Amino acid sequence: MTGINYKFREDELIDEFSAYIDKTYGGHYGQGGLQSSEVIIDRGHGIGFFLGNVDKYNGRYGKKGVPEDHRKDLMKIIHYGFLALYEHDRLNDNIDNFLIEE
């Protein structure tokens, strides 16, 4: 236990997001040992692709399907945001710099 009184269920949502990510590795995104994102990064298009998908799902939010579909769009926004953060760090040689100074 962290002792933090989360006001917005961040701890629960982080756990849910972690489970969501784990599922993507068991789904079609992880089949064959190579994800399409790896190919896109290798071709030098990673940051643009990831940020473009953040824009895509942000623009689609609330316009397609039912509220559960809208929630899935939010999860995809977060996922692509994480991938963009990874790619930013990779491009800027900050992979091992996980501490944020306040």
Taking only the tens place, the pLDDT of each residue in 15-37 is 999 999 999 887 665 556 788 89
* Tens-place pLDDT, residues 50-98: 999 999 999 999 999 999 999 999 999 999 999 999 999 999 987 655 5
Burial-class residue 57 by CB neighbours within 10 Å (0-12, 13-18, 19+): buried
Question: What count of other Cβ atoms lies within 10 Å of the Cβ of residue 99?
Answer: 5
Q: Give the global pTM.
A: 0.83
> Alpha helix (H) ranges present in 1-102?
10-26, 36-42, 46-60, 67-91
pLDDT for the residue numbered 33? 72
For residue 100, name the pLDDT band (cuts at 50, 70, 90).
very low
